[in-house]
Amino acid sequence: MSENLLGLQVTPGEVSRVVQDAIDVGYRYLDCAPLYDNEREVGDAIRARIQDGSVLREELFVSTKLWNTCHQPDSVLPACKESLTNLGLDYLDLYVMHWPIAFK
């Protein structure tokens, strides 16, 4: 299960539909994280709505998070690039630490 835009559980495979519906009704801030295990589906939805002309990438504010095992300086860029790949995006509008504590 993954969290949707409201923090509710969404079955894998439904995330793209939920995000597309959210964009359709006016959501422009999309909060993601590797922990939610849905970046690929969120990215699929974003690209679908961009491709069908519903929204421009510049109209969306997409954020994702750095997971707690990746706080070491040499881990940050690879983790960010992995999220960009998963989302299928060229850039993020915000990239933050998921929690302010690191895990081993």
Q: pTM above 0.75?
A: yes
Residues 43 and 81: their CA atoms lie apart, in Å, by 14
Residues 64 and 96: their CA atoms lie apart, in Å, by 7
pLDDT at residue number 103: 77
pLDDT tens track for 56-89: 999 999 999 999 999 999 999 999 999 999 999 9
* % of the chain surpassing 70 pLDDT: 90
Q: Which is catalytic among the residues 27, 29, 36, 91?
A: 36
29 belongs to the catalytic site: no
pLDDT confidence bin for 8, thresholds 50/70/90: low
- Which distant-in-sequence residues (6+ apart) come within 8 Å of 104 by Cβ? 69
What is the CB neighbour count within 10 angstroms for residue 32?
Answer: 24
Residues 83 and 32: their CA atoms lie apart, in Å, by 9
